[in-house]
Structures are given as C-alpha cells and as structure tokens.
Structure 1
Amino acid sequence: MKKQLIPFFAALAVLSACDPDKETPPAPATTDVFILSEGQFQAGDGAVSAFDKTTKALTVDAFGAANDDAKLGDVVQSMGVQGSRGYVVVNASNKIEVVNLPDFKRVATITALEQPRYFTSTSATRGYVTEWRGPYTGYLPGVLSILNLTSNTVASRVPVGRNPEQLLALGGKIYVPNSLDNTISVIDEATGQLSSTITVADGPASLVADKDNNVWALCTGFVTYLSTPPYTATRVSNGTLIRFSPNSPATQLKFSFPATGSPGKLRISPGQDQLYYQFNGAEYQMSVTASTLPTTPFIRRNFSGFAIDPRDNTIFGAISPSYSTNGKFIRYQDKGATAVAIDSFEVKVGPNGFVFY
C-alpha cells in the first residue's frame, strides 16, 4: 500500500472472513505460515516468506526460491487462498500472482487490474478483488472485479465506492467497504450485480463476520492535512466500530472511538467470538457481546499486521521499523487477558499480514 500517499488510512492485514456455512475451507494439512512483505514502494522487492511452525525453518522469499529468483513485484498488498492455490495481490504492479501451495510455484498471472487491493473467493472457479481508481489527488469510484479462477482472467466488473478495501463474503453476498466514503457496497453473488448500498460511518476499511453471522465494520474516520508545511492534521470524523445483521443493515450498533487516533486492522478469533483491532499503537481485544470498547490493550505494540492461527490460536504480529529496512514478525501465546511473546524472525521490508495453510 502506498502509505506515503494515504495518511489517514490504516494499513490492513490480509485475511478476509467467509461464510461459515458455505465457504470455510477444510482444515489445513500443513504447518505453513506465509508472511507478506510489501517491500519498498517502486523498488519491486515485495516478497512472501514461508515459515514452518514445526521446524521453525524460514524461507524469506518463497516465490523467488520456487521460481528461479523471479520477483513478485511492487507492493505485495494481500493474499488469499482457494484450495491448493494462493492468490498474491501485488498492488503497484497491477496484478495477482497465482501460485501452487505450499511450494509457491507460479501457475498464472492475472493482469488487466488497476491498483488491486484485497482478494477473496467463494468457489474453485470464482474470485473477487477490490480495485482503486484514479490518482491520489482525485480518487474515483472503485470497482469489484469478478475473477474466473479457471482461466485466471477478469470476467466482469462492478462499480462500487471510492477506495474499496477488505471485502467479506457472507450468505451469498459480497460486502465491499468503501474506505474513502461512508458506505458498504453489497454485490449479489448469483447475479454479479450491485444489490444495495449500506450507509455506515466515515472510512469503512475492514469487515468480519461473527459466530452469529453479524457483520462488523471498522471505520477509520477521516483526517485532512494542510498541503503545505507543517502539514497540520485536522480530524474530520472519529473512528467507529459498527455491527449489523445482513437482514436489517440499517439497524446498527455503534461504538465510537476517541479523537486521538484512527482504529484499523479489524480481525476476529477462530471461534468468531473475539474481535481484535489496532488503536493508538496498541492491539485491543473485544468480545462480540461487549457493550463498550475496551480501555486496556491486549498487546501494547504497534503492529503493521496481525492474525491468529486457527490451528492452535498462536498470535502473529508484524513489525515494520520503516519502509526501507527489513521488518520482523513476533509469535505470541494467548494468555486470556494478555499475550506472551514466544519468538521472532526477520523478514523483508514492510510485513503486513499472514496466511495460514
């Protein structure tokens, strides 16, 4: 993600939630973890590292190692999995690299994309990717591209709002948060058409579904910056966490954040009963039945990516000291109200997310 161009957006991690009755993949058969690293913007050095939890072996560039030192490209944004294939979204290179798993051999490259962001799929033949449109100074309404995963091509496109982000597939619908607006576009999976638009708060950027199939949307709020030094920031709207039922999306439970920062990186536990998000340089945990936002951090670290391994509930946090030097990931053991660090490993520049396979 082009962070220097989008100061009011939190960087997002990689995993999209799915319909537990329809789209949950079978239990992974390996102990692999893939760690995404954006790389330096315009350097073309984005990478995915492969970590074996059993042996603790780390391959820092799994794609290069499997494909004669080939480069993934510029800004590895996210990755999704369908069956035995991985779909690596390379934002500034305008493509998705399709690889076999777990060996990371290249299968195909999906092109004809523009600023692709996040991928999910609902079957072995159909995938979805959000795409931005327009330049930083004048973003236009984005699109949801519907992908044919048999031919690895774009089958159709659906116009959505500005800067669509981390989408959610649930109950035959694709929910697309439009992070430069205050809306979520809802696409009907059967028809491939926009079925409705849900108004939420400013800056919806990530979505998850809980154990009761409620949708949770984390909205960052908006901040404006002066165009000349000292580039003073003015908060236009606060962050908001919103819950709604797909059957009555206009009825919303809202949790408002203080004006001291923008929340980001909404995640949910494997049991779909605990939410996780970042706020003011710390990670927070919140029950889906809570009536207020938590006040005490779960982990007091500023993560550039965060995820929980569904196989054993190990917590993974990514650390990016800068976007010109290597980062690392830290593994934690969940202790209930807090977490204890286990170990850490160095990876490429800008780690931003994890995929478990």
Structure 2
Amino acid sequence: MKLSKILMSAFAFTLLFNISCRNEDPITPDAPKGAYENGILVTNEGNFGSPTASVSFISNDLNTVENNIYSANNGQAPLGDVLQNIGVQGDNAYLILNNSNKIEIVNRYTFKKTATVTEQISQPRYIAFANNNYYVTNSSGSSKFVTVYSTATNAFVKKIDLASTGERIVEAGGKIIVQNAAYSSGNKLTFINPTSNTIESVLAVPTGTIQKTISNGGYVYTIASTSTDSYIYKINPSGTINSSVTLTGIGNANNLEIDGTKFIFSSGNNVYTMDMNTTKVPTTPIITLTNTTWSSMYGFGVVDGKIFISDANGFTADSTVDIYSTSGSLLKTINTARGTNGFYKN
C-alpha cells in the first residue's frame, strides 16, 4: 500500500474518532442564576407610614408563591415604606421606595441587596433606563423632577426639573418620556434626550386626561380618558402623535397593557381587549369583577399572556390576586401581601 493511502486512512480514522467524541460530549445546561429566575415579581406597597413594603414572587407555572423575598434574603431587614415600582436592568432590580425616599438595588435572581441610593431622592415614583443611566421621577409637593444615575456606579449624574408632575417614565426609540399626569389630572408628556440629559419637547394629547403611559416596539402608547370616551395614542419618540384610536362609549379607561398584537385595558371593573391594528371598539368586556370596591383593581399587569389583577382589600388585609388568560378565563387565585400594586416579568 502506498504511504499516501496509509496517511489518508489514518487521518480519516482520527477525524471520525474526534467527531464521535464530540457528539458524545455531554451538553452542560446554563447554571441557574437564582431562586427568582423565570417568574413574576410582585410589588406590595405596605401600609403608608410603616416599613411594611415587600416583594412577592410567582413562578411562571403559577405553582410557587413566595412572599417577602427581600427580607428573607437580607437578614429579615424591612424593605421600607411604600414600594411604588420595580425596574429591572441586567442582573439588577431597582426597588423604588416612595415614602422612604430611597432606591434599594438587589440582584434580581437572588434578591441579595447590593446598594442603596438616596441622593437627590424626594418621593420617587417610577424608573426607566437609557444610555447607561437610570432615570427616576420625583414628585414632592411643588417640586417635580427627574434624577439621573449611572448604572455602573449608582452615582448621581443630574437633576432635570419638570414643569409639572413627574409620574410614569419609559424609554422608547432611545428617548426618555415622562408622563406629566397623575390621579386623573394632566395631559402632557415630556421628552428627554438621554445623551444630553435635557428636555427636547413637551407634548399635550388632544383630548382626555392621561391615565397610563407604556413603551412597545420603539413607540410610546398612552391611554387618556374623559367620563364618556377614552383614547389610545401611539406616539413617536420624537414627540409627535403617530396615530390614535377613540374608544367611543368607554369612559375613564386606564391600566393600558400590550400583549402581542392586542391592547388590554380596563374601565371601572371591566377589562377589555382589542387588536392594535383596528379601530373597532370592543363592546363586551372579557372580565367583569364582581367586587366593586375602590381597591378591587388596585394592581393590574399582563405578563406572558396572563392578566394579573389584585384586590388590595382596602389595605385592612393582605391582597388577593386573580390570574386570568387573555380570553378572560380565571386560571388561579393567590394571596400576596399588603397593597399589591404591580407585576413585573423577571
């Protein structure tokens, strides 16, 4: 046999052996990041004036519920007074404590505390992220402003004064947008350039009081209402209205969420859904709550095709949370903690 044929045979055998070994190598799955990966974080305000705020965790399959996860993972330390909002970025969760005037930062998967921010904080409300910074709205008496911090160091960067209330805040298309409306008063949005951290423009919606502002697909969506009709505005991050839908006959709509290609919103004790690409107004709610007290829809959220609605039970008892499919079928009812107000995918 020629030497070249011997070498070729040896090379082929070696190649086949290596491929076979590689095919038999075990596949190592990613190590779990922590107990609270792949679930829903739930914000519980607690009673105003007392450090009873807390965070609950619901697993994606809805079979596991754990309350008070901050204290459980931080030596039973209390979280604070009035947990308003949670923002998640990277491995961190930012817990906005309104009446404690602070932001507690934890690892979002283990809930171990990593930092506390208090500089230039006064009655903080909501948080958004852009350009390696995080932006927090503050509304304290006549003082309304946005504070900016570095996500790398948590150092204070800048204070941006607002002409009116600073409430919800979102990022869309590389811009930061502040909702200048709260408690059924106000109709404006402020647009901030996160490169210069300066205000670029202020937009007033044509009709209605703004109830909630969210971000989706690079656009800003805000729901505004009057006592008789409501309006969903799709807004460009440049600060102009792209399009709008009039919800004729549905007054005082709020709690706007987007699930896939559908709007989900509430009015009173009713929950409606409609396709984002139509102007046809829904006539029949998918959910109607039988409890009609003021706290029966205190918290509202949509996560991965499930609608979460909390009843705060008048803040005299812990909250109950009803979980529905987006077709309106009740999937499960669970107990959380005092004053459940929000639901966040983790």
Would you call these one fold, judging by a TM-score over 0.5? yes
Percent of pairs with identical residues: 24
**Contact 2:44/2:342 (8 A) holds in 1:** yes
Distance 1:329 1:127, change over 3 A: same
Establish whether residue 176 from structure 1 lines up as the match of residue 178 from structure 2. yes
TM-score, normalised by the number of residues in structure 2: 0.79
Instruction: State the aligned residue count.
Output: 300
Establish whether residue 130 from structure 1 lines up as the match of residue 118 from structure 2. no
Q: CA deviation at 1:257?
A: 5.8
**Contact 1:99/1:105 (8 A) holds in 2:** yes
Residue segments in structure 1 that go unaligned for 5+ positions in a row: 1-28, 135-139, 222-234
Q: CA deviation at 1:191?
A: 0.9
| Match among 243, 255, 258 for residue 268 of structure 1 | 258
Distance 1:255 1:324, change over 3 A: same
TM-score, normalised by the number of residues in structure 1: 0.77
Report what 1:219 is aligned to. Answer: 224
Q: CA deviation at 1:54?
A: 4.5
In 2, Cα distance between equivalents of 1:129 and 1:148: 12
**Contact 1:178/1:203 (8 A) holds in 2:** no
Establish whether residue 193 from structure 1 lines up as the match of residue 195 from structure 2. no
Report what 2:212 is aligned to. Answer: 206
Q: Which amino acid aligns with 1:146?
A: V
Distance 1:122 1:174, change over 3 A: same
In 2, Cα distance between equivalents of 1:252 and 1:183: 16
- 1:110-125 matched pairs, under 5 angstroms: 110-112=117-119, 113-122=121-130, 125=132
Report what 1:277 is aligned to. Answer: 265
Distance 1:215 1:52, change over 3 A: closer
Q: CA deviation at 1:49?
A: 0.7
In angstroms, what is the RMSD of aligned CA positions? 2.4
- 1:48-87 matched pairs, under 5 angstroms: 48-54=55-61, 56-87=63-94
Distance 1:161 1:248, change over 3 A: closer
Q: What per-residue deviation string (whole Å, max 9, x for no partner) do you get for residues 319-339 of structure 1?
A: 2221121102222233xxx22
Residue segments in structure 2 that go unaligned for 5+ positions in a row: 1-35, 290-295
Report what 1:10 is aligned to. Answer: none
Distance 1:96 1:203, change over 3 A: farther
**Contact 2:171/2:215 (8 A) holds in 1:** no
In 2, Cα distance between equivalents of 1:266 and 1:147: 28
Report what 1:303 is aligned to. Answer: 297
In 2, Cα distance between equivalents of 1:204 and 1:164: 12
Q: Which amino acid aligns with 1:117?
A: R
Q: Using CA pairs below 8 Å that are at least 6 residues apart, which structure has the higher relative contact order?
A: 1
In 2, Cα distance between equivalents of 1:148 and 1:253: 35
Larger displacement relative to structure 2 (164-173 or 91-100): 164-173
Establish whether residue 329 from structure 1 lines up as the match of residue 321 from structure 2. yes
**Contact 1:161/1:181 (8 A) holds in 2:** no
Larger displacement relative to structure 2 (61-70 or 158-167): 158-167
SS of equivalent residue, structure 1 residue 283: strand
**Contact 1:116/1:129 (8 A) holds in 2:** yes
Q: CA deviation at 1:261?
A: 5.2
| Match among 219, 236, 239 for residue 245 of structure 1 | 236
In 2, Cα distance between equivalents of 1:51 and 1:210: 24
SS of equivalent residue, structure 1 residue 326: coil
Greater fraction of residues in helix: 2
SS of equivalent residue, structure 1 residue 63: helix
In 1, Cα distance between equivalents of 2:88 and 2:58: 16
Report what 2:149 is aligned to. Answer: 147
Distance 1:52 1:333, change over 3 A: same
SS of equivalent residue, structure 1 residue 162: coil
Q: Which amino acid aligns with 2:50?
A: A
Q: Which has the larger radius of gyration?
A: 2
